[in-house]
């Protein structure tokens, strides 16, 4: 019987040597079940030991990309809120649109989003959305890995919070371990202290983490100081949220004191710079967070702000925005971008077995073509990955040892059918009735 | 005999109606020789009237993208100067590297660059480089359109300037009209007033324009004020440069008074925001320029700063950087991005017959696939183009009525051979000997 289920032959591999990310050439990668069992110079592993082989000569193998913060089914509204201010974006677009959603919409929306992520080399995503059973079903079918949190607003009450705990119980460890579940209160500005405290207690009792928006704009921080006398981060701390593993989305307006305080907790921050640029929200203090030892990962946010679920693009924008904001082209060097995207992503989702191509790790692997003119010469393969490669270069995607895309063709999702199902729903979904909105964004006067 | 040489059938078309960019669905585009002769609802034009037909159902036709400022052969050095400050970028990397170049390197480098541009949907580029006969030969063979200026430093003297005028005479209107030639003094900081005056006189005598770097950083402006008592833009004005049609590269640090002065002249500005972000150079006053009626186009700059020759990416970054810098998500709306990329690009290069899909215009057409999950739904096709599409979606490229790429396959360039020729040269090209540098960037203390 063959030792390996899959042998990837002759590729370049993004890996780590002495703490640095490097690209080594001409390697074979052997996979058994859902794990990487060997990475060896090409030819060393006997081809006959593998049930199936993929010739990956000329390709670059990277760890499956990790999307630490998104609202995947919002792909249903792609392009519906362009060039608008953030308050209008929430109150006139997003929340009225989302009031139209029904559970089956979410299932098809999640499949479309997962198709886009697979095509972009993303194998794991952290979702913060509604009707999460449908999202979990789409994850289970499509073969990707996800951390799913059912978003809840304080005004929906404890009963709704408890319903999201039931989702956690139903799906924790689901899809053969590919699904993890967390609690997902929306934000300190839409969940009061008591609601946050109740969330923290439940998260601790369930043994799960909390995924929440925090300090997205300076205006939110000013409003929190006015209304509560503390920053949103301190409000979370006081409610006990940080006693559970926490993933903060954005943190653009975290203060110096917030960052010093966060050092004492198991808190990570997801960065989605395309949203910050497009909605003109400012630039997060990523270097200060990292200097304080806070884990930072990369997310895409939902596509109504960022238009794509493309983590490669967000990596590039993170570096570009950080350099420009600091007026210093030496900040956020290539090694740091790699550390945030891969190690940071894995740590932010508390999934230590992903984010690295090494023996024993889970087999989440993306093969990227390198034959485009934009990737030559290859003096610096990591610079090419961060600043030249594009999602269109993704050729083959493996998650948990299974092939999800090969030669650019999706293997687990029938995209034409997904498009057809969504097309039937578009007219109902794109209505906007202000009174029907899910919630109201407070005026913050940024 | 058929009326048309090529009929593109059933595509969506990015066009203009009442001054606005819109996407119309299900159109046929008929081409005779090098011009668009008809755009009509699908099926109206008799297929038998065309010598050849392309089924473009589901594709989006856009005008060939226009790259208003690059140094194409610098692809030879892609990835060799990462995460470095601008002064080191010039003095320790670019100019020492460029001292290694021989004419035949430039020919192969230009072909690699053109291959990348075709793969990215770019049909026209404005080049500012050395050994321009080799660049022109690559343009002639590959079928793209180019405006080529032979870069010259003041210290090279009037004799060298006159040699670049000889290049203008040799190639103006070359490649069946696809090549235009301009003069290309490097910059006000590396060309003194007398040299610029001599350049302006020659440009006027030749009836050509001038392509020059100007006000790339605040430091350059401060240095100019200290050394010359005027800004770099005023220095160019006083030397008579603006009496010829002028294309300024960058203009990040143009002052309010500079912009008011430029209004009186036939001056356009090329914007290359990826370079500005990556080298942390600040953000150009694009809205002020446009409000003053100054034409703005998009460029990619050389890949040693921007890593790609991808105009789609630069369009996106222009909008994102302008929004973030203004802290206003409503600035640089989609229509303005379109106007800059297409109308602005054509006007910046003084090529009024490109940049638009309309009857009578030159047939520079790019067909983009829209079947990726990242481009669905299509509520807003222009938002999808600016914020979701990527160069990897380019399927077919036509320039001057001729097919240069089809189904993603290059038809006029043998890319494996280009790669092999460049590979033989890499070891010689990537040496850096500081004393051998072409020029010295002045310390400007930005």
Q: Same structural domain for residues A165 and A240?
A: yes
Instruction: Tell me which residue in A278, A283, A384 faces B323 most closely, judged by beta carbons.
Output: A278
Q: Which of A250-259, B82-91, B136-145, B406-415 has the lowest mean pLDDT?
A: B82-91
Decide if A431 is inside a domain. Answer: no
Nearest residue in chain A measured CA to CA from B415: A373
Best probe of the A interface among B329, B334, B416, by most A CBs < 10 A, is B329
A422 located within any domain: no
CATH number at residue A402: 2.30.40.10
Q: Is B67 on the interface with A (CB under 8 A)?
A: no
- Judge: A79–B334 Cβ closer than 8 Å, yes or no: no
Does residue A436 sit within a domain?
A: no
Q: What is the pLDDT of residue A434?
A: 75
CA distance A5 to B382: 44
pLDDT by residue (tens digit) across B226-271? 999 999 999 999 999 999 999 999 999 999 999 999 999 999 999 9
Nearest CA in chain A to B420: A377
Question: Among partner residues B119, B283, B331, which is closest to A374 by beta-carbon distance?
Answer: B119
Chain B CB within 8 Å of residue A191 CB: no
Q: Could you tell me if B57 lies within 8 Å of chain A, comparing CB atoms? A: no
Residues 290-319 of B with CB under 8 A from A: 303, 306-310, 317, 319
Task: pLDDT tens for chain A, 446 residues: list them.
Answer: 789 999 999 999 999 999 999 999 999 999 999 999 999 999 999 999 999 999 999 999 999 999 999 999 999 999 999 999 988 988 999 889 999 999 999 999 999 999 999 999 999 999 999 999 999 999 999 999 999 999 999 999 999 999 999 999 999 999 999 999 999 999 999 999 999 999 999 999 999 999 999 999 999 999 999 999 999 999 999 999 999 999 999 999 999 999 999 999 999 999 999 999 999 999 999 999 999 999 999 999 999 999 999 999 999 999 999 999 999 999 999 999 999 999 999 999 999 999 999 999 999 999 999 999 999 999 999 999 999 999 999 999 999 999 999 999 999 999 999 999 999 999 899 888 877 888 888 877 65
Asked if the C-beta of B373 comes within 8 angstroms of chain A's C-beta atoms, the answer is yes
Helix count and strand count (H, E) for chain B: 17, 17
Distance from C-alpha of A16 to C-alpha of A18, rounded to nearest angstrom: 7
Mean pLDDT calculated for residue range B96-117: 96
**Same domain for A85 and A23:** no
Residues A363 and A304 in one domain: no
Q: How far is B215 from chain A (nearest CA, A)?
A: 16
What pLDDT does A445 receive?
61
- Beta-carbon contacts of B31 under 8 Å, excluding residues fewer than 6 positions away, are B4, B5, B6, B7, B8, B37, B363, B365, B398, B401
List the single residue in B with minimal CA-CA distance to A89. Answer: B329
Measured in Å, how far apart are chain B's first and last C-alpha atoms? 64
**Cβ contacts of B374 on chain A, cutoff 8 Å:** 116, 119-120, 308-310, 391
Residues A298 and A401 in one domain: no
Domain for residue A206, yes or no?
A: yes
Q: Within the 72-111 window of chain B, which residues sit less than 8 Å (CB to CB) from chain A? A: 75-80, 82-86, 89
**A395–chain B Cβ distance below 8 A for any pair:** no
| CB contact B387 to A (< 8 Å) | yes
Does B439 score more than 90 pLDDT? no
Q: Is A427 exposed, middle or buried (0-12, 13-18, 19+ CB in 10 A)?
A: exposed
For A333, name the nearest residue in chain B, comparing CA atoms only.
B83
In a domain, A438, yes or no: no
Q: pTM for the complete prediction?
A: 0.97
- CA A375/CA A383 separation, integer angstroms: 10
**Cβ-defined contact of B393 to A392 (cutoff 8 Å):** yes
Is the pLDDT at B443 greater than 80? The verdict is no
Which of B274, B276, B280 shows the shortest C-beta gap to A328?
B280
| A59 and A76 part of one domain | no
CB contact under 8 A, A329 and B276: no
- Interchain CB distance below 8 Å, A83 and B116: no
List of chain B residues whose C-beta atoms are within 8 Å of the C-beta of residue A112: 373, 376
CB B70 within 8 A of CB B128: yes
Alpha-carbon gap, residue B101 to A71, rounded angstroms? 50
Nearest-Cα residue of chain B relative to residue A377: B78
Share of chain B above pLDDT 90, in %: 93
Q: Name residues 153-172 of chain B within 8 A of A (Cβ).
A: none
A444 domain residue, yes or no: no
Interface touch A307/B383, C-beta < 8 Å: yes
Distance from the Cα of A399 to chain B's closest Cα (Å) equals 19
Q: What is the CA radius of gyration of chain B?
A: 21
Total domains in chain A come to 2
Kindly compute the dihedral angle of the four CA atoms of residues A158, A160, A163, A168, in this order, to the nearest 10 degrees.
Answer: -80
The Cα of A102 is separated from the nearest Cα of chain B by a number of Å equal to 18
Contacts of B75 in chain A (CB under 8 A): 373, 376-377
CA distance B335 to A297: 33
Residue A25 lies in a domain: yes
The verdict on residue A440 lying in a domain is no
Task: Give the residue from A322, A348, A374 where a domain finishes.
Answer: A348
Both A145 and A293 in one domain: the answer is yes
Alpha helices, H only, B148-252: 157-171, 193-206, 218-228, 232-238
* Same-domain check for residues A261 and A314: yes
How far away is chain B from the Cα of A380, in angstroms, using its nearest Cα?
A: 5
- Among the partner-chain residues A79, A113, A310, the one whose CB lies closest to the CB of B383 is A79
Q: Which residues fall within 8 angstroms of residue B62, CB to CB, at 6 or more apart?
A: B14, B121, B357, B365, B366, B368, B385
Banded model confidence at residue B152, pLDDT cuts 50, 70, 90: very high
Among candidate residues A348, A376, A391, the one where a domain is terminated: A348
Q: Residues A395, A265: one domain? A: no
Mutate to test the interface with A, among B392, B393, B446 (most CBs of A within 10 A): B392
Question: Domain containing B246 — which CATH number?
Answer: 3.20.20.140
Model confidence at B217: pLDDT above 90: yes
Question: Which B residues 400-419 touch A at CB under 8 Å?
Answer: 415, 418-419
Contact B366, B264 (CB under 8 A): no
- B379 contacts in chain A (CB < 8 Å): 77-80, 426, 430
Q: Residue A28: give the domain boundaries.
A: 4-63+358-410
B233: closest CA of chain A, how far (Å): 23
Residues A172 and A202 in one domain: yes
Helix H or strand E segment including A51: strand A50-55
Q: Say whether residue B393 is in contact with chain A using an 8 A CB cutoff.
A: yes
Question: Tell me, what's the pLDDT at B437?
Answer: 83
DSSP A380: -
Report the pLDDT value the prediction gives residue A276, as an integer from 0 to 100: 98
At A363 the pLDDT is: 98
Model pLDDT, residue A16 = 96
Taking only residues 241 to 270 of chain A, the set having a beta carbon closer than 8 angstroms to any beta carbon of chain B reads: none
Measure the CA–CA gap between A161 and A195, rounded to whole angstroms: 9
Computed over every residue of chain B, the mean pLDDT equals 96
Residues A281 and A398 in one domain: no
> How near does any CA of chain A get to the CA of B131, in Å?
21
Q: Tell me, what DSSP letter sits at residue A443?
A: P
Mean pLDDT computed over B150-176 = 98
A280 and B422 within 8 Å at the Cβ level: the answer is no
What integer pLDDT is reported at residue B445 of this predicted model?
Answer: 61
Please check the confidence at residue B446 and state whether its pLDDT lies above 70: no
């Amino acid at each position: 019987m063959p030792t390996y289920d899959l042998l990837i032959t002759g590729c370049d591999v993004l890996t780590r040597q002495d703490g640095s990310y490097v690209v080594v050439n001409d390697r074979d990668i052997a996979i058994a079940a859902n794990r990487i069992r060997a990475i060896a110079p090409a030819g060393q592993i006997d081809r006959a030991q593998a049930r199936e082989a993929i010739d990956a000569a000329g390709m670059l193998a990277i760890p499956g990309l990790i999307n630490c913060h998104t609202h995947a089914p919002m792909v249903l509204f792609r392009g519906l809120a362009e060039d608008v201010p953030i308050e209008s974006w929430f109150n006139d677009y997003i929340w009225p649109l989302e009031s139209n959603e029904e559970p089956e919409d979410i299932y098809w929306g999640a499949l479309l989003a997962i198709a886009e992520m697979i095509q972009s080399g993303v194998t794991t995503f952290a979702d913060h959305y509604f009707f999460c059973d449908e999202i979990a079903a789409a994850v289970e079918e499509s073969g990707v890995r996800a951390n799913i949190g059912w978003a809840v607003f304080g005004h929906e009450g404890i009963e709704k919070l408890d319903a999201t705990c039931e989702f956690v119980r139903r799906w924790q460890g689901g899809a053969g371990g590919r699904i993890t579940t967390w609690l997902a209160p929306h934000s300190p500005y839409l969940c009061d202290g008591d609601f946050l405290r109740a969330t923290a207690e439940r998260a601790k009792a369930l043994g799960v983490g909390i995924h929440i928006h925090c300090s997205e704009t300076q205006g939110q921080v000013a409003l929190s100081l006015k209304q509560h006398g503390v920053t949103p981060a301190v409000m979370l701390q006081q409610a006990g949220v940080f006693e559970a593993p926490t993933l903060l989305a954005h943190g653009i307006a975290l203060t110096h004191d917030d960052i010093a305080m966060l050092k004492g907790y198991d808190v990570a921050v997801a960065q989605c710079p395309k949203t910050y640029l497009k909605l003109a929200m400012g630039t997060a203090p990523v270097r200060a967070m990292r200097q304080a030892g806070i884990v930072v990962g990369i997310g895409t946010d939902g596509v109504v702000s960022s238009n794509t679920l493309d983590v490669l693009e967000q990596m590039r924008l993170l570096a570009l925005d950080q350099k420009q904001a600091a007026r210093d082209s030496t900040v956020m060097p290539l090694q740091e971008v790699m550390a945030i995207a891969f190690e940071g992503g894995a740590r932010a989702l508390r999934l230590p077995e992903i984010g690295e191509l090494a023996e024993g790790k889970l087999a989440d692997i993306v093969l990227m073509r390198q034959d485009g003119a934009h990737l030559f010469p290859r003096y610096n393969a990591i610079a090419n990955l961060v600043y030249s490669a594009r999602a269109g270069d993704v050729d083959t995607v493996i998650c948990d040892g299974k092939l999800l895309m090969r030669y650019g063709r999706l293997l687990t999702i029938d995209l034409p059918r997904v498009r057809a199902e969504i097309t039937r729903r578009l007219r109902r979904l794109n209505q906007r009735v202000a009174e029907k909105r899910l919630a109201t964004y407070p005026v913050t006067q940024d």
